[in-house]
Structures are given as structure tokens and as C-alpha cells.
Amino acid sequence: MMSEYKYHLTLRPFGIGSYPKNDNFLRFEKDETKFGVLVYSKRIDSEKIDHYSLSPITEIEQIDGKKVNVSKTSDYWHLKAVKNPQGYYFIEATQYDDDEVIDKATITTADVIRNIEIGRWILVDENDSDLSKAIEIETEHKQTLEDVASGKLTPDEAIIETVKDHLEESPDYYDSEKGLPAMEERLKEDDNIPTETYGSLQLQINDLHKEISKRSDLIRQGQLDRFGILQKEFDDLSNERNILIRKQDDLLKLKSKPAMEERLKSESELNKNITPLFKVGNFVKYEIDDMPTRTAYGQIVKVMDFDTEFAYRVDAYFKNDSGKVLFDQEKNNEVY
């Protein structure tokens, strides 16, 4: 049976220019609301939801009563779908400490979809969730981190406290065959990033740059995951490899010059259309809209991911007299 995703029109009656037209549009339905319902066979992204002033129905009903984890934190929000007097959904989000309410917020459906879409919120399956369990386990270090931030512990003392915590969890935690070292050994394997036409590369970029369409001036080390389609290119003039990362209408270009031996090999095989792979450890250069003043440098690293076996991240750097150093998040409007 074909999936259906429904959206309320909230500002304009059904007509030309009032809804996204594509092959996924199925039909228009009337209901108790003023302008009716659009039905699609696939989800509509948050950008178009905003542009056409739509109100999601299906996706909101699917997350009603669910819990989300705020990415990279131990914070959770409980979501409840509520209809306003006009018949459109909004979300009441509640945060608890045990059974005590510590925060409440009213959130638009478009913002809810966007938060999930960009990875700021992660839906949690409370019945069986590796992510939920992992966050619950690692929350035990929250006090240690707060003590470092407040100056009660030095970083070295914090390391000792963390080691003690892990050994209390399991005497085998640091065992070379059973524990964390074995996982880290797996991280060293298979460091080539696949460049099949429809492969995917996961990047983490800073919060200010969470929507490339906003054209922030910087790309910095950060928390947001973005996904895209890899495309292989080879420029026989500059000998640069390129990956285009596409998300909706956004474009992020990464470039990296191959090592000399790779370059010679590639030049000899140009007629075979063979492009060298990007590898973990490569330094790459970001460009936004091909504007040289909007450029940052980074190194590809490999990380564990809860949803996929491995993910790849680019940690951003800026260039100074001493070479490439980790980007200072306090700097603003840096020109490269």
C-alpha cells in the first residue's frame, strides 16, 4: 500500500502556487479546516513546509507521545500533539526530572520537523533503543564534566574519575579483546570513504551554519549532522578531487589535492575515469558558493555512529603562521 503524508493548507485556498507541485502529489481533500488538506506519497521537507505555510498532519501524529533526545546532550523532551482552534497541530514539549516538570515549550510543527530533519532531535524508541541506553550510561559522567568546567577538577583528575567509573561498570572495559580497545581497533579498519555515485558522507558542522541556505560566513567544528550525495570529479588542470554534498537546494563543495604518487596514477588512468578515494586523515577545503572568502580547512575523521556502523566527520581548522590548528569557536567573521 502506498504511503500517504497529509498537510493542512493554513493561509491560502487550494490553487496555483499554493502547494509544492511534483510527482509525489496525490490529491486535495476537504476537511473541517478552512483551506483543506494536501496529500503526498512522500514527505515534504521543512523548507517547503515553511515556504507554502503548510501544517504537517501525518508526521505529527506519528510522533505524538514520543520522546526525543537533544543531540549531544542527556536532555529529553516529551512531545504531545495538540490542535489549535483552527484545527491545525502544534506540539507541546515537556522536560522532566524524574516525574517533576522542569521545562515546557510550545513548538510549531515546522520547527519540530526541522529539528528532526537536521539531527538536533533524535526520536527515541523507549522499548528498545541503543541510543537511549548509551546516553543513560554516559550521563554518569555529567557531574565530572561539570566539575571540570567549574574548576573543581583538573582534566587529568577527570580522566582518573572517568576510568574509575568505567571499571565499576565492567572490569573488562579496557580489555584489549573484550572492551573499548577492541572497538577502537575496528575504527582503524577500512578508512577509504566510498565514492559511489549514490553513497553518502556524514559531516558535522557548527550550529550557526546548520542551514547552508542562510549563508553563514563560517564553517566550524560543531554538532550538526548533514547528509548528501557523493559525486566524483577530477580536474585535470588543478588535479583536485571534489565531492559535492547536496541537501535540498544547498551545495557544499569539498576539495582535496591527492598526494604526488596518487596524482601520477590518476593521470595515467584518466581515460578509465578512475578517481582516487578520499581517505580518513585527508585534509580538505570547504567552499561555499565558490566564494574564496568563505573557505575553511578540515581533516576527515572516522567516528562511531548509533544509526550507521560508521560515519565520517570533517573537523574544521583555520590556517595561521604555525600551520593548521583547531578552529577557535570564539572567533567570528574570520576571512580565509
| 33 pLDDT above the threshold of 80 | yes
Taking residues 249-271, report their average pLDDT: 43
pLDDT tens column, 195-240? 433 333 334 333 333 333 233 322 322 222 333 333 344 444 444 4
What are the residues facing 192 on neighbouring strands? 279
pTM above 0.75, yes or no: no
Taking residues 79-94, report their average pLDDT: 91
Residue-range domain boundaries for the chain? 5-124, 138-187, 192-326
Nine-digit cell at 25? 502529489
For the chain, the residue count is 336
pLDDT of residue 23: 75
pLDDT of residue 146: 76
Give me Rg for the CA atoms of the chain.
Answer: 24
pLDDT tens column, 124-155? 865 544 555 555 556 666 677 777 777 888 88
Please classify residue 129 by burial: count the beta carbons closer than 10 Å to its beta carbon, then call 0-12 exposed, 13-18 middle and 19+ buried: middle
pLDDT of residue 88: 92
Q: Identify which has the larger pLDDT, 292 or 213.
A: 292
pLDDT category at 299 given cuts 50, 70, 90 is low
| 112 pLDDT above the threshold of 80 | yes
